[in-house]
Amino acid sequence: MEYKDYYKILGVERSATAEDIKKTFRKLAMKYHPDRNKGDKAAEEKFKDINEAYEVLSDPKKRARYDQLGASYSQWQNRGGNPGNFNWNDWVSNSGQGQQVDMNDFSEMFGGGFSDFFSAIFGGMPTSGRRQTRSSARPMTYQQQVEITLDEAYRGALRTFQVDKRRIEVKIPAGAKTGTKVRVAGGGPAASAGQSSDLYLVVKVLPDNRFSVDGEDLTTEVKIDLLTAVLGGTVKVFTFAGDVNLTIPAGTQPGTAFRLGGRGMPQLKSPQTFGNLYVRVKVEIPKSLSAQQKELYEKLRNS
């Protein structure tokens, strides 16, 4: 069995942080995605390799196990060993038969599945690539994390996956949160002849620097100048349903929060019902004044 250098595949250092690995993976996945490289077998294989590498390096437990294996393999090579004689038995997973296969541990998304190396080290399967089966007639279930933006969580989203030779389009409903599971009946890889498998997409909503989220409620911040805070005025506020002109009363204090009802996130089970948007005011104090402005502020202070 051939040792796979996942760090080299992603083009990152072994000391790379989780964020570095994630950023690099996203760039490579976009570059080599099958939809952008139709008919390009080399790009398709590269896409599979980077997904496999990310599956390992993005998971702290898998990465730790892989790093231990890598250290042992390097030491063995430095002693003059050759790949055909390395003792893989110490590293092959023996999780046993009759277990549910989790998509986070063994994925056949993106077509074709993971390599024998991955299956042997992390999947608890023989290197022939045969799938585990369960004695129960119940379908196998697979899980795969899917990332969506907050905008997509608000409006709903579509994701397309290739499973075996099938292309599956999945709708993620509006109001989905981190941890929401979307079941695709029969959407997983074929477990065996006559046995189906289900796919569960586990949603992760990415952070949005415009809002903080608390259930269906959102909080955002708007900046106003000192005169607007003192004299009152209006300020434009972005919402997912369109911009809103918010009235700022005279004498508004820094940190004051205004509630915009129904401008938050939709409820998953009742998408026509929305949470609130809280708009927190930040008053900007001028850092430099013209001579005339300074004179006016002096008059205000002495009046």
pLDDT digits (tens, 9 = 90+) for 26-77: 899 888 887 788 888 888 888 888 988 888 898 888 888 888 887 777 776 6
Percent with pLDDT over 90 in the chain: 40
Rounded Cα gap, residues 157 and 174, in angstroms: 7
Question: How many distinct structural domains can be found in the chain?
Answer: 3
If asked whether residues 171 and 261 sit together in one domain, one would say no
Long-range CB contacts (< 8 A, 24+ apart) of 212-216? 213/150, 213/265, 215/265, 215/275, 216/175, 216/264, 216/265, 216/266, 216/267, 216/274, 216/275, 216/276
pLDDT at residue 92, rounded to an integer: 57
Is there a single domain that holds both residue 105 and residue 191?
A: yes
Range of the domain at 58: 1-91
Predicted pLDDT of residue 16 = 92
| pLDDT value of residue 125 | 33
Band the pLDDT of 250: cuts 50, 70, 90: very high
Judge whether residue 243 has pLDDT over 70.
yes
Which CATH number belongs to the domain containing residue 257 in this structure? 2.60.260.20
Asked if residue 139 and residue 186 are part of one domain, the reply reads yes
Q: How far is CA 202 from the centre of its chain?
A: 10
Report yes or no on whether pTM surpasses 0.95. Answer: no
Q: Is residue 96 part of a domain?
A: no
Higher pLDDT, 298 or 191: 298
Q: d(Cα 293, Cα 197) in Å, to the nearest integer? A: 72
Which pLDDT band, with edges at 50, 70 and 90, does 260 fall under?
very high
How confident is the prediction for the chain on average, in pLDDT? Answer: 80
Q: Is the pLDDT of residue 280 over 70?
A: yes
Q: Are residues 222 and 197 in the same domain?
A: no
Domain boundary among 206, 229, 264: 206
Residues 226 and 185 in one domain: no
Same domain, 9 and 87: yes
In this predicted model, what pLDDT tens digit does every residue of 65-120 receive, in sequence order?
Answer: 888 887 777 776 666 656 555 666 666 544 333 333 333 433 433 344 567 777 66
Radius of gyration of the chain, Cα coordinates, nearest whole angstrom: 27
